[in-house]
Structure 1
Amino acid sequence: MNSSSFCSLPLIAITYSCLLYLVSARVGEFTPGRRLLDDAHHKPSINIEGYMSNYELENAIMAFGERCSNISRIYSIGRSVNGFPLWVIEISDNPGREEPEPAFKFIGNVHGDEPVGRELLIRLANWLCDNYLKDPLADMIIKNVHLHILPSMNPDGFALRKRGNAKNVDLNRDFPDQFFATNDLEDARQPETKAIMRWIRRIQFTASASLHGGALVANYPWDGTEDKKKEYYASPDDDAFRFLASVYSHSHYNMSKSKEFPEGITNGAAWYPIYGGMQDWNYIHAGCFELTLEISDCKWPNASELSTLWEYNRMSMLNLVATTVKTGVHGRVFSVDTRTPLPAIIDINGINKSVKAGRLFADYHRLLVPGVKYQVTASSPGYKSKSTTIFLVEEATTADFILEPETNNAGKIVGSGCDCSGNYKNRLEMVDILAHPQMEISMVIIVALAFLLLLYRRKLCLSFPKHRQALGSKRPTVV
Structure 2
Amino acid sequence: MNIKFCIIFSLFLRNVIARGGDRINPLSSASDLGFPNHGYVVLARHLFEDNQARHPRTDITRGYMTNSELEKAVKEFGRRCSHISRVYSIGKSVQGFPLLVIEISDKPGKEEPEPAFKFVGNVHGDEPVGRELLILLANWICDNYMRDPLVNLIVDKVHLHILPSMNPDGFSLKRRGNANDIDLNRDFPDQFFPWNNDEDARQPETKAIMSWLREIHFTASASLHGGALVANYPWDGSLDKRKHYYACPDDGTFRFLASIYSKSHYNMSLSKEFEGGITNGAAWYPVYGGMQDWNYIYGGCFELTLEITDNKWPNAMELPTIWEYNKMSMLNLIASLVKTGVHGRVFSSDRGRPLSGLITIKEINYTDIREHFGICEVLFFSVQDAISAEF
TM-score, length basis structure 2: 0.83
CA–CA distance in 2 between the matches of 1:336 and 1:151? 43
Match of 1:15 in 2: none
CA–CA distance in 1 between the matches of 2:174 and 2:386? 48
Match of 1:258 in 2: 271
CA–CA distance in 1 between the matches of 2:61 and 2:90? 26
Match of 2:388 in 1: 376
Pair 1:247–1:49, CA change in 2 (3 A): same
CA–CA distance in 1 between the matches of 2:158 and 2:236? 27
Deviation track 1:70-100 (CA, whole Å, cap 9, x = no partner) reads: 0000000000000000000000000011100
Deviation track 1:116-156 (CA, whole Å, cap 9, x = no partner) reads: 00000000000000000000000000000000000000000
Residue 60 of structure 2 contacts residue 315 of structure 2 at CA under 8 Å; is this kept in 1?
Answer: no
Q: Secondary structure at the match of 2:101?
A: strand
Residue 100 of structure 1 contacts residue 361 of structure 1 at CA under 8 Å; is this kept in 2?
Answer: no
Matches within 5 A, 1:318-357: 318-335=331-348, 339-357=352-370
Pair 1:364–1:346, CA change in 2 (3 A): farther
Looking at CA atoms only, which structure, 1 or 2, has the larger radius of gyration? Answer: 1
Match of 1:57 in 2: 70
Deviation track 1:225-280 (CA, whole Å, cap 9, x = no partner) reads: 00100000000000000000000000000000000000000000000001000010
Q: Does 1:286 align with 2:260?
A: no
Matches within 5 A, 1:47-126: 48-126=61-139
1:232 corresponds to which of 245, 265, 283: 245
Q: Secondary structure at the match of 1:334?
A: strand
Larger helix proportion of the pair: 1
For residue 182 of structure 2, what is the amino acid of its counterpart? V
Give unmatched runs, 5+ long, in structure 1: 1-45, 378-385, 387-402, 404-479
Give unmatched runs, 5+ long, in structure 2: 1-58
CA–CA distance in 1 between the matches of 2:368 and 2:360? 7
CA–CA distance in 1 between the matches of 2:382 and 2:321? 31
Displacement of 1:349 after TM fit? 1.2
CA–CA distance in 1 between the matches of 2:151 and 2:69? 26
Q: Does 1:245 align with 2:258?
A: yes
Pair 1:270–1:47, CA change in 2 (3 A): closer
Q: Does 1:295 align with 2:298?
A: no
Residue 249 of structure 1 contacts residue 265 of structure 1 at CA under 8 Å; is this kept in 2?
Answer: yes
For residue 100 of structure 1, what is the amino acid of its counterpart? P
Match of 2:214 in 1: 201
Give RMSD over aligned pairs: 1.4
Deviation track 1:96-121 (CA, whole Å, cap 9, x = no partner) reads: 11100000000000000000000000
Displacement of 1:361 after TM fit? 4.5
Match of 1:166 in 2: 179
Displacement of 1:346 after TM fit? 2.3
Residue 99 of structure 2 contacts residue 163 of structure 2 at CA under 8 Å; is this kept in 1?
Answer: yes
Q: Secondary structure at the match of 1:48?
A: coil
CA–CA distance in 2 between the matches of 1:330 and 1:373? 18
Displacement of 1:340 after TM fit? 2.4
Q: Secondary structure at the match of 1:93?
A: coil
Displacement of 1:375 after TM fit? 1.2
Displacement of 1:364 after TM fit? 2.5
Q: Does 1:151 align with 2:180?
A: no
CA–CA distance in 1 between the matches of 2:102 and 2:273? 35
CA–CA distance in 1 between the matches of 2:192 and 2:336? 30
- The number of residue pairs the alignment matches comes to 333
Q: Secondary structure at the match of 2:354?
A: coil
For residue 49 of structure 1, what is the amino acid of its counterpart? R
CA–CA distance in 2 between the matches of 1:282 and 1:121? 20
1:128 corresponds to which of 138, 141, 158: 141
Q: Secondary structure at the match of 2:103?
A: strand
How many percent identity over aligned positions? 69
Residue 105 of structure 2 contacts residue 155 of structure 2 at CA under 8 Å; is this kept in 1?
Answer: yes
CA–CA distance in 1 between the matches of 2:382 and 2:290? 25
For residue 59 of structure 1, what is the amino acid of its counterpart? K
Displacement of 1:357 after TM fit? 3.0
Larger relative CO (CA 8 A, sep 6+): 1 or 2? 2
For residue 376 of structure 1, what is the amino acid of its counterpart? S
For residue 57 of structure 1, what is the amino acid of its counterpart? L
Residue 251 of structure 2 contacts residue 382 of structure 2 at CA under 8 Å; is this kept in 1?
Answer: no
Displacement of 1:164 after TM fit? 0.1
TM-score, length basis structure 1: 0.68
Residue 370 of structure 2 contacts residue 379 of structure 2 at CA under 8 Å; is this kept in 1?
Answer: no
Residue 346 of structure 1 contacts residue 364 of structure 1 at CA under 8 Å; is this kept in 2?
Answer: no
CA–CA distance in 2 between the matches of 1:298 and 1:137? 30
Displacement of 1:373 after TM fit? 4.1
CA–CA distance in 2 between the matches of 1:196 and 1:351? 28
